Amino acid sequence: MVSLDENMLVKKIQEGDQLAWRDLVLRYEGRLTNYAQGKIKDHASCQDLVQESFLGFLAKINNFDASRSVQSYLFGILSNKITDLLRSYGRLRTVETPVDSSGNQKSSPFIDPAMGASTWYRGDEKKKLENDALIKCLGLLINQFVQRKDYLKLKSIELIFVNGLSNLEAANILGIDNKTVASHRHYANNFIIDNLKRMNLSPDIFPHLSEQDQD
């Protein structure tokens, strides 16, 4: 959720206000440093990464989307920087693109050949629209659960969507039966689909909504 206060701070920084910049750094420095320290033990490196994240934020301040949360944006920049640093240490979790003996990148043997030009097109053309719509739908859904104090549903779909667990795994964690979790998932998917339709967007833009309902 974006606070008015936060928007005002960003606006002042966009106008070149040094005190607002200082305020933003003081406000977010601690939580960002703690986040980095959860992954990198060297305190000096953490501080450097946090400062680089602030610089990354400042470099794009004039294009900052006011509907986004500053905290989420800063955590995103920092998370990418941490990944880059870990990659340089050889602690990359993801699969590297293979290189030949001369060090040139080879095309990945893992790329799905079925991923065609339409995927590229969709990614370039509609990404922001889809993102914004889904953020709004999910926000409404979460808010509804919180207002109704329906935390069991929120927990179910958080385990499914955020942690990527199956219905059964989520059910085991929550100590409820599989069918109840499936009904929570079904409810969430329908809620999102209905709201996408209200925004005149096709639910087909998120094909996994129907896929996820099946397992």
Partner 1 sequence: MNITKATLDAFIDDHLNEQETIKVEKAVRESPELQAQLSNIIVSRDMGDHSIGAIWRREHLSCPSREELSSFKDDALESQRIDYIKFHLETVGCKACKANLSDLNSSKDSLTNPDTREKRRQFLENSKILLPKKQ
Binding mask 186-205 for partner 1 (x = CB under 8 A): ------x-------------
**CB of 151 closer than 8 Å to CB of 145:** yes
Residues from 157 through 176 that contact partner 1 (CB under 8 A):
158-166, 168-169, 173
Q: Considering CB under 8 A, how many residues would be counted as binding partner 1? A: 79
Backbone angles phi, psi at 99, to 5 degrees: -120, 155
| Identity of the residue, 76 or 183, whose beta carbon is nearer to partner 1 in the bound complex | 76
Own/partner long-range contacts of 126-135 (Cβ < 8 Å, ≥24 apart): 126/205, 129/201, 130/201, 130/205, 130/206, 132/67, 133/196, 133/199, 133/201, 134/192, 134/196, 134/206
Q: Which stretch binds partner 1 (CB under 8 A): 153-161, 175-183, 196-204?
A: 153-161
Q: Inter-axis angle of helices 4-14 and 70-88, to 10 degrees?
A: 70
SS3 category, 164: coil
With CB under 8 A as the contact rule, the residue among 7, 21, 183, 213 that binds partner 1 is: 21
Residues from 71 through 110 that contact partner 1 (CB under 8 A):
71-72, 75-76, 79, 93-95, 108-110
H-helix segments, 95-177: 117-147, 151-157, 167-174
With CB under 8 A as the contact rule, the residue among 60, 65, 69, 210 that binds partner 1 is: 69
Q: CA 147, 151, 153, 158 torsion: positive or negative?
A: positive
Residues from 111 through 130 that contact partner 1 (CB under 8 A):
111-112, 115, 119-120, 122-124, 127, 130
How near is the Cβ of 158 to partner 1 at its closest, in Å?
A: 6
With CB under 8 A as the contact rule, the residue among 42, 99, 105, 151 that binds partner 1 is: 151
How near is the Cβ of 201 to partner 1 at its closest, in Å?
A: 14
d(CA 70, CA 89): 29
| List of residues 6+ apart from 58 with CB closer than 8 A | 13, 21
With CB under 8 A as the contact rule, the residue among 14, 45, 180, 183 that binds partner 1 is: 14
Residues from 23 through 62 that contact partner 1 (CB under 8 A):
25-26, 29-35, 38-39, 47, 51, 54-55, 58-59, 61-62
